[in-house]
Amino acid sequence: METHRNADTGVGKTLEDLLGIEENNVPGPDTAGVELKSVRNSSGSLTSLFTKEPPKGDEYRPFWSQKMVNELGYVDDKGRQALKVTVRPDEPNNRGFYLDYTDDTIEVVHEDVGTCAIYPIEWLQEKFEDKFPQMVMVFADSEKRDGREYFHYVDAYHLDGFDGDEFLELMREGIITLDLRMHLKESGANRNRGTAWRIMDESKLDRAFAERTPLLDDIDPEDYRDSGQTTLPSDDDD
């Protein structure tokens, strides 16, 4: 099947169109309570799971947003003060940021400033479970023909029973990472495109669920429409 969108999201957009699913901007699972995720086999690229800022309040945001961009950012190729980096556990990145884990929190830390933001672990696990109470995960082979991408959807699984401990372990192992995506406008105000929790290898996301049921023989556009599902949500941006 030829892609319906020339972008990383083409694999999902093409499948949605085949199944008659409309995109919308409503956070959380769709009307059937199931999130649909489409994955390129061996894509090697980061994929956003959801966007979530730390809870509001100085105790959770000691050095956040505009202050962080001003003092720890850099001038991007558009001449703006910006801070757009991927943050992983333990080892500082080239801007000095890393994730530190305690028993109860995940902290965004800078090697010079210290703690910039704090995410309570239970709170973050709840946000993930709200968005992914169940998931249908579809895997596709991809190839290029005359500059266009084509997909062959080869495997599908229904995932259920969120496992918060395994979700946390994916974070500790650096499989799920954090992206800061901020820059300053000409007015000096901060423009935050949403702090994104992302995953490099989506095939490992099934570890965050207790049950994994193959669906390859069950994928049929008419059956999917008959289930009552009509829309697909976007990420939850604060």
b or e along 181-206 (b: 16 or more beta carbons within 10 Å of the residue's beta carbon)?
A: bbbbeeeeebebebbbbbbbbbeebb
**Is 114 within a domain?**
yes
Checking if the pLDDT of 175 tops 70, the result is yes
| CA separation for the pair 202, 200 (Å, rounded) | 6
Does residue 2 fall inside a structural domain? no
Contact criterion met (CB below 8 Å) for 140 and 40 = yes
Predicted confidence (pLDDT) per residue in 1-59, tens digit: 888 887 777 888 888 888 888 765 445 555 466 788 887 876 666 778 888 999 999 99
Q: Give residue 33's identity as a one-letter amino acid code.
A: G
pLDDT in tens, 77-92: 999 999 999 999 988 9
Domain carrying residue 114 = 10-232
CATH classification at residue 86: 3.30.70.3570
Instruction: Tell whether 1 is covered by a domain.
Output: no
Please give the pLDDT value at position 139. Answer: 86
* 3 found inside a domain: no
Whether 5 is covered by a domain: the verdict is no
Residue 94 lies in a domain: yes
Nearest to 178 by CA among 116, 112, 113, 111: 116
Number of domains composing the chain: 1
Residue 238 is assigned to a structural domain of this protein: no
Residue 101 lies in a domain: yes
Helix (H, G, I), strand (E, B) or coil at 232: strand
